[in-house]
Structure 1
Amino acid sequence: KTGRFPFSALGRAMTLNQTDGFVKFVTDEKGLVLGVHGVGPGMSDIISEAALAIELGATAEDIALTIHPHPTLSESLMEAAEAVLGESIHIYQPKKDAG
């Protein structure tokens, strides 16, 4: 499963006028974080949280439930995790057909 969150929807990126970029979460079917890709401002700092999540065997839900201050660039990681779960409220995510 994957979840992607664009910096163009991130409040802090907007205030910095640096909205180019994204964070993408890659998980297995159970939500275990397998990898994180990111391009944009602050990614050299943000990626350390992703590395820790992988090392500790965290899931997308673990990251989504972790409090991230607002407005910060690190919120993009939480938003990408929520996108994996279909719970991100700051980007449009069409409902998947159950049938």
Structure 2
Amino acid sequence: MIKVEYVLALPDEQLQEYQMIKEGSALQDALPNFLLDEKAKAMIETPIYGVFNQSVELDYILQEGDRIEVYRPLQIDPKTARMIRAERKRKQLNSKK
């Protein structure tokens, strides 16, 4: 048996759960063991999973100490977010003049 962590980051809190699973288990085999996965699936139509900030396929074989992460869809495109921040900064600099 190996110990793995499951993490679900919500906008206002981060939930985590630990489980002991059979060594050699694939991610898809382990997901039904986690209560938080039902909450993730209720919030996210098609969850994307990763391990330690690296996206992985469902056939990924889990290792001792792995941290399974659920990735939520982006709320805003990163390029758009950068443009908004730059415009906000420009306005701040102009207002100080």
> Which structure has the highest strand share of the two?
2
Q: TM-score, normalised by structure 2?
A: 0.30
Q: Quick check: which has more Rg, 1 or 2? A: 2
Q: TM-score, normalised by structure 1?
A: 0.29
